[in-house]
Chains A and B, each alone.
Chain A
Amino acid sequence: KAGVTQTPRYLIKTRGQQVTLSCSPISGHRSVSWYQQTPGQGLQFLFEYFSETQRNKGNFPGRFSGRQFSNSRSEMNVSTLELGDSALYLCASSLAGDGKNIQYFGAGTRLSVL
């Protein structure tokens, strides 16, 4: 079974631009969560999607948004990029509804904002 796939692996953008990151979950997983990881703040939860609906949301500004498609693939968008958005963005999928909700992560997208 293929794991969680995130594309692209690396991105370089400039301030003010926008970016879209993609995540394909493990087959059969309906829940997709996004995290931002930085050396200073650690791993912070962005949002979770389940069956195309945002189920949970972290404390990030509205510039960060996401969506999930009917095939459970998810995209995350960041508009008006700031230098502080430079981070590793991790996507995780889970089966959900099994009582454990173990999240399996992708390799991440490393975003650098110049």
Chain B
Amino acid sequence: AQKITQTQPGMFVQEKEAVTLDCTYDTSDPSYGLFWYKQPSSGEMIFLIYQGSYDQQNATEGRYSLNFQKARKSANLVISASQLGDSAMYFCAMRLNRDDKIIFGKGTRLHILP
């Protein structure tokens, strides 16, 4: 069965430092997509970044990059130069292309300290 694991329930990081949020996934399907979302306290889920299983390059979107290690089945999110506004819950998700179902991890709560 497909599964997403985020092992860090909470993290505290000093402002301006880089932060890595861990995500491992489990699937035997060869074709899938990986996503990261940010959920501030307001509740809205904000899409951050996408990585396809066949993409050769790691995805980047501004200060966000996805460290995709296919053999290890990991898709860690890296936030460079963290800001106070990055404090939020972060979710890793996976979608299997054969049925379009999406599953989410339990999330990591990130606290940026001034």
Partner-B contacts on A (CB < 8 A): 33, 42-43, 45, 48, 55-56, 88, 90, 92, 96, 99-108, 110
Ordered by A's residue number, 27 sampled pairs between the chains whose C-beta atoms are within 8 Å are A42-B104, A42-B105, A43-B91, A43-B107, A45-B101, A48-B100, A88-B43, A90-B43, A92-B45, A99-B52, A99-B97, A100-B33, A100-B50, A100-B52, A101-B33, A101-B95, A101-B100, A102-B35, A102-B50, A103-B35, A103-B47, A105-B44, A105-B47, A107-B43, A107-B44, A108-B44, A110-B43
Q: Nearest Cβ distance between residue B35 and chain A, in whole angstroms?
A: 7
Mostly, the A contact residues are strand
Specify the chain B residue showing the minimal Cβ separation from A107: B44
B84 at the interface (CB under 8 A from A): no
- B13-45 CB mask vs A (1 if < 8 Å, else 0) is 000000000000000000001010100001111
Q: Which residues of B contact A48 (CB under 8 A)?
A: 100
